[in-house]
Chains A and B, each alone.
Chain A
Amino acid sequence: MKFSYNWLKNYLDLKLPIEKLVEILNLYAFETELLPKNKDILEIKVPTNRIDAYCHLGIAREISNILNLKLNEPQITYPKSQERIKNYLKVETQEKKLARRYSAALVFNIKVKESPKWLKKRLISCGIRPINNIVDLTNYVMLETGQPLHAFDFNKLADFKNKKTIIVRLAKKGEKITTLENINYSLTGNELLISDFEKPLALAGIKGGIGSEIDNNTKNIVIEAANFEPLNIRETSKVLNLKTDASLRFENNLDPELTIFALKRFLTLLNEISQPPIKICKDFIDVYNLKEKPKVISVLPSKISKIAGFDFKKSEFEKYLKTVANKITIKNNNYLVEIKSFRRDLETVEDVSEELIRLKGLNNVVSSIPITSIKYPEVPKIVEFKLKIAEIFSRDFGFDEIASYSFIKEEDLTNWNLNKNNLIKLTTPASFGFNYLRPNLLIKILENISLNLKNFNEFKIFETGKIFKKENNLPIETLYLAGAIVSKNQENNFLQLKGYVEKLFEIFNIQNFAFKNGTDERFEEFLKILINNKELGILGNISNNYQKIYDLKTKAAYFELNLEELVKHCVSLKLFVPLLKFPKVKRDLSIWMPQNLTFSRVKKIIKNSSKLLREIKLFDSIKIDNRKSYSFHLEFFDETRTLTEEEVEQEMAKIANNLNKLNIEIR
């Protein structure tokens, strides 16, 4: 919100340079910036709870409290005619809760023309376009006092029994109104309208309508200063997508006490800039439907000190308290503070503490060590698990950890054949057309591979993050780990990645895992990762189709694991196995694989052939003319004795025998 430094000087004897004022406002009140190349305009972020400071008078009041300067309230003097407003105008508020207060003034014989220079300049500096003297003055008074005003052409209001009547009512369903910008709105019935007997005149608290506006021929004007219920204004403004300076103020719960003061200021200024013979009605219409009782807050100085961590001097304490109080009663060192009506934000002692600590200066807070009991902190297992996995993959396995957005795009749905019913959609899409929450990490990993292939030929990446699904209309989010190896060698990619997964299980002592062959159109070679027969992940080579879709010029293997399930299977207990006292006997074994058998089957046959065979490790594989050969290191040992050569030869014979039965040839 923009404020003019020179304008503020109307109310304060400000001597300090504007830069200094900016600094002081930042330290003691609101975030403030000086507009570049400007020595007059301050951009102040007034928080929404401080509606009292949405105006120059409010900011001046704040500065006067901080700097201990006298506040010069603006003058109110204007000539009153003998005319009484109620002889000409009647106001009827049908919605007493929504129209908390409706005040109006009536002026005859005005002349609509251009505003004087000083007025136009001030409006422009605060970002408001000058229109004519009447409209400009309503805006000026709003910027000064915070109270939005609206001017109607009195003669355009419909007559009823020789009187004009303003009715504050709810819109009828389907009723239409055209605003001053010539935009038509069709109303739902929840909007508050200002109308006469024939037509709607304005969207209450938001915008004037066509039909009663001030024009160059306007002679007589009604000035409205009202106070509307904030939620209704906010709702209407949102539904119609119409935010105005007025709606902004009403929806933040403007002080209803302001209306008459604002009208008087308007009339004072109107009189100043007008020539005779204007005629101002001597009184106002003032329908005050919802007069509030002043709030009283009980403030114990000790409570304020407890919050701040420092003590106030009594004199200071009382001085600051007075800035928000109409009246203070002290009972047993307890201050009963009747709060000024414009301080809409103050409801509790904590709110008051903010005021006092702020005025005293937040820089008076001095760091102090909290005194607490010792207790070892709680850390959720999954947090430690996730970090440990990230460490293992990056530090031990040499993967780079990526991070990505939690969203996917509409086109991903068709590319990946995703069922909308299981996905969670955003009501309004994010940037880049992201409009669903990701149901897996695969899509993001592939996007990432595609991106990084521009700069790198081979890499290993991983990510941990949530994936999102809809089940029985409820959202389910699950923490996943996914990774990929990207290189030209498809077999290596797959087997290395499988090796990393196996090593991960070894580190966390996860025993009951298995890989199960399967098919998945997204992958060429594909395995399911099972733990205790439950599917916790997948491993596969990206299919040619998806390689094409993501424009990958090289092969990639991918895996993912459900970390929330995996963590349940980790065994932290690790036990020492006594070192072997007797030598191991080592043999090598090379075989030719028949077509109809899998590696894992053959390995199992070898393993099961001998009880003394304790380790079996593949160390070489070659392919000659469609024939595949595997070579293993075999280790035989017994914890209790040394094996003899003969024994091991017997075991080797058993193995050969079992292999022969299956027509497996030993090289």
Chain B
Amino acid sequence: MTKSIIRIMDFEKYQKQAQSELLEISNEDQLKNWKIKFLGRKSQLSQYLKTLSVLSQEEKRRQGLLANDLRKKLELAFDKKYQELIFRKKTESFDITQDGIEVELGHLNLLTHLEKEIIEIFKGLGFDIAIGPEIESEYYNFDALNIPSWHPARDEMDTFWLDLEKPSKNTKLYPANKKFLLRTHTSPVQIRYLKTHQPPFRMIVVDGKAYRNESTDARHDFQFTQVEGMMTGSDVSLANLKYVLEEFLSKFFETKVKTKFLPSYFPFVEPGLEVDVSCIGCFGKDKNCKVCGGSGWLEILGAGMVHPKVFKMAGYDPNKYQGFAFGIGYERLLMTKYQINDIRLFNSGDLRFIRQFKF
């Protein structure tokens, strides 16, 4: 190997080229590539330093010093450029006081959200979940609930009867020779459940669309949603009903509430009750409360002890079993909790309404 192979590097040209390329750089990636090109292991500069060993001792030192000097200069230029890029990125590319980019969410319907809550709360209390058909037989909707064909309560229910022939024989869902209707409440599922389960048990009925043929206004709609509950055993009492309802309502309203039992009448319970809940707006302390109108109580649901005739119709000895049942309107609960002023919004499908509720 001879000394003549070595070509002395033109440091000045190298530096000029590096600096002019650096000027063109506008982002970090380009800067990284620049560094590789001019300072990296495969750069001309690094390669040159590796070949110095063949030079004379003195020449080696001179070239070494020059090369290192150049390296320092280029590294300095790199740092400066890097700072510049970072600074520009921070201050010039956008205004950080802008609003965040809006996230588009989907929205669960309020009725579905409540259904989830109800299932969660009652599952927590050990209640089975049951469902039943929206098209019912008058047998389940009325007869079996101690509302025979002559009963005045049938008129009060404003039933949607269906233009269908009565079934000529028993089918899986429907008994023979009974008229079809849209269920006016979810109570028929109590009977369906009683016929397939042995007490003691506790259950709620969900997916509870029900229908009543009445004219609509802000407080009434002909289609609504109910949750029905029933607990039976040898000594399930009104006191137990009070406990279960207060637990449920306290969880739902997210505050400890009390209930008040008032006498009421439903043919399928005895005694029959209307249950009021202590006002969640004023806790009974504001005479001008908008939520309760100053009474301190909110009318929330109907309940009672399952009528012995209902047990008998389902094939149980009413002397052996007793229990409570209750029915709550989803819409009523939601209107109370969220101060919604028109029940018809629930079935309107209006996104201006639906999108208000995020969970």
Contacts and interface: CB of A to CB of B under 8 A. Distances in A.
Interface string B166-177: 010001001000
A26 B262 CA distance: 7
A398 B354 CA distance: 13
Interface stretch (A92-100, A368-376, A534-542): A368-376
Contacts of B215: 431
A452 B352 CA distance: 8
A377 interface: yes
A231 B240 contact: no
B116 interface: yes
A562 B260 CA distance: 44
B100 interface: no
Given A306-B235, A474-B174, A468 B135 contact: yes
Interface in A370-398: 370, 372-380, 382-383, 386-387, 390-391, 393-398
B261 interface: yes
B67 to A, nearest CB: 39
B272 interface: yes
B178 interface: no
Contacts of A377: 122-123, 126-129
B270 A383 contact: no
A335 to B, nearest CB: 16
A367 B243 contact: yes
Nearest to B206: A383
Interface in B340-359: 346-352, 354-355
B46 interface: no
A326 B4 CA distance: 138
Interface of B: prevailing SS: mixed
Interface string B187-220: 0000000000000101000110101010110000
A542 to B, nearest CB: 17
B238 interface: yes
A172 to B, nearest CB: 24
Interface residues of B, number: 88
A424 B182 CA distance: 11
A251 B182 CA distance: 26
Given A403-B111, A426-B161, A477-B133, A362 B106 contact: no
B279 interface: no
B315 interface: no
A353 interface: yes
Interface string B121-149: 01100111111011100000000000000
Contacts of B104: 398
A380 B153 contact: no
A307 interface: yes
Interface string A424-447: 111110110000010000001001
Nearest to A47: B265
Contacts of B164: 424, 470, 473-475
Contacts of A31: 262, 264, 274
Contacts of B151: 48
A528 interface: no
Nearest to A238: B155
Interface string A46-81: 011110000000000000000000000000000000
A397 B133 contact: no
B173 to A, nearest CB: 8
A484 to B, nearest CB: 11
B215 to A, nearest CB: 6
Interface stretch (A104-112, A453-461, A571-579): A453-461
B239 A362 contact: no
Given A350-B308, A368-B237, A383 B119 contact: yes
Nearest to A407: B223
Interface in B85-110: 104-109
Interface of B: 104-109, 111-112, 115-116, 119, 122-123, 126-131, 133-135, 150-153, 156, 160-165, 167, 171, 174, 180, 182, 200, 202, 206-207, 209, 211, 213, 215-216, 222-223, 231, 233, 235-240, 242-244, 246, 260-265, 267, 270-274, 305, 307-309, 318, 322, 346-352, 354-355
18 contacts: A28-B263, A29-B263, A48-B151, A49-B265, A348-B270, A350-B305, A354-B263, A365-B239, A372-B200, A376-B126, A379-B128, A383-B119, A390-B108, A395-B106, A398-B104, A456-B351, A473-B164, A477-B134
